[in-house]
Every structure is written in structure tokens, then in C-alpha cells.
Amino acid sequence: MPEFSIPKDPIEGLAIAVALILLGSLVGSVLHQLRRPPQRKDNVVHFRKPVAHGGYGMSRYVPMRRRPKDPKVTLLAWMFVLVVGLFWLPTLDFDWQDHGVRYSQGKGTSEVPRTIEGHARVRDVDTVVVAGVPVRLDGVDGPELGTRTGNAAKRWMVEYLRGKTVTCKLNGERTYDRFVGRCHEGGNDIGAAAISAGHAFDCRRYSGGRYRHLETPAAKSRIPRSAYC
């Protein structure tokens, strides 16, 4: 079973709140359209448009017809908003493991071997893709991608792994689309290398403190430590 916790990222919390509000509004709109009586096509609303007439201070009001709202248009508009939201939210690239969500491998993951090897594509300083398998570096607390320190850390990892073969040993846990494990190149732990280079921290919650001695004063002065660790 996944271990859920309250999101610590304010952007993620805001996105979830907006999604819940939109969903609630859609349900309310549907119920309102189902309960409201049918409107007459000749519905007239009086006294909407003033027209000057006669002498000084005199005016008359011309009735103005109003087209009744079509419930199908309302439902289609809400469906469009939800579809756009479903495609937009994944682009925020939330680091779900950083919010305490981990679970053991379940159905559909048994075909992924516990040891994978190949050239790595870098997502950020604590996530690499090896042999088509995204791997979250176990026990590494990297800065968020999109921040100045996060982008610098990713660039460092790209250069560090350029042209090298990476071997990852998975521990059987997952964090959404990523498999959790430790990765090495030439016998060197790439998570430990990132921490010793000042681009990440040790995450004691998952590492047990094995990388703590590698943390640098420079990293402590410029990178915020994640609260979940």
C-alpha cells in the first residue's frame, strides 16, 4: 500500500486544490442542469436596454430577449477544462517520492530486472533513465528542477555521466513511474558523487545516513534541504 502524506510543495498543493474545485464545480453544474426546469424559447427579460425618448429627463425601456443557456454547451466547456487540466498537470513534473509516496512493486513490474545497465539519460540530479527504466536514486535529496540550483545540478550530472555506462540495482520499491535503486559507473556511486560535488544532500529517511559525511558546506549554504528527509 502506498504511504501518502500531505504535499509539501505549495505549487503541487495549489494544483490539487484547483483540480478539486473544478471537479466540484463540474458536479454542481451537472446537478443544477438536471434539476432546473426547461426554459421557454421566448423568454423575455424586461427593462434591460434604456433608449432616450421624448423631452428632457424622459426615457423608455425596450424589452430585450435573452437566449437561454444550453446545458450541453456548459457540460462541453467543463469537459474541455478537465481535459486540458489532465494534460497540463503532468507537465509540472512533481517529485512524488519527495512527498513520501513509495510502494513495493506490484503487477506489471515483474518484467523489470533488479539490475539494469546502459547509458543514462538524466531527468534531474536524483533521477536517471537507464535502458528505458527511470530510476530514482535511493537516499539522494536533490534540488527541484526548474530552480537555479536544480538546473545546475542536472547539468553537472549530464556531464558526469556523458559517455559512461551506468549500472543500477533496484531495491523493489517504486515511486509512481520510477523504480528506486542505487546506480554506479565504474564502481562509483553516482548519488554519492552528486552529494560530494555539492549538488545534493543525503536523505536520511531513505538512506539511513550513509551519505551524510559527503555533504559539503557549499551545498548547505545554497541548496534548501527537503523537509521530507
Query: Does 160 lie in the same domain as 81?
Result: no
Residue 156 and residue 223: Cα distance in Å, rounded? 15
**Residue 229: inside a domain, yes or no?**
no
| pLDDT for 224 | 92
Of the two residues 178 and 48, the one the predictor is more confident about is 178
Kindly state whether residues 214 and 112 are assigned to the same domain. Answer: yes
Q: Three-state DSSP class for 199?
A: coil
Is residue 199, in this structure, part of any structural domain at all? Answer: yes
Mind listing the pLDDT tens digit for each residue in 65-122? 555 555 656 666 667 666 666 655 554 444 444 444 444 444 344 567 789 999 999 9
Grid cell digits, residue 2: 502506498
Pair (18, 65) in one structural domain = yes
Last residue of a domain, one of 46, 62, 92: 92
- Domain membership of residue 73 (yes or no) is yes
- Predicted confidence (pLDDT) per residue in 157-184, tens digit: 999 999 999 999 999 899 878 999 999 9
Which amino acid would we find at residue 102? R
User: What is the distance between the alpha carbons of residues 212 and 157, in angstroms, rounded to a whole number?
Assistant: 19
Query: What is the CATH number for 128?
Result: 2.40.50.90
Q: Indicate whether 4 belongs to any domain.
A: no
pTM of the predicted model over 0.85: no
Q: Are residues 114 and 215 in the same domain?
A: yes
Question: Considering Cα of 185, then 190, then 192, then 196, what sign does the dihedral take?
Answer: positive
Residue 79 lies inside a defined structural domain of this protein? yes
Q: Which class for 139: exposed (0-12), middle (13-18), buried (19 or more C-beta within 10 A)?
A: buried
State the Cα angle at 96 between 217 and 111, rounded to 5°. 115
Check whether residue 66 and residue 126 sit in a common domain.
Answer: no
Structural domain range at position 209: 104-222
Q: Do 49 and 114 belong together in one domain?
A: no
What's the first-to-final CA gap in the chain, in angstroms? Answer: 20
Task: Show the cell assigned to 5.
Answer: 502524506
**Final residue before a domain boundary, out of 92, 125, 158:** 92
Tell me if 228 is assigned to some domain. no
Instruction: Return the C-alpha cell found at 140.
Output: 539522494
- In sequence order, the 6+-apart residues with CB closer than 8 A to the CB of 31 are none
Q: Considering the domain boundaries, does residue 3 fall inside one?
A: no
How many domains are contained in the chain?
A: 2
Determine the average pLDDT of the residues in 108-137. Answer: 88
Query: Which residue, 65, 92, 119, sits at the end of a domain?
Result: 92
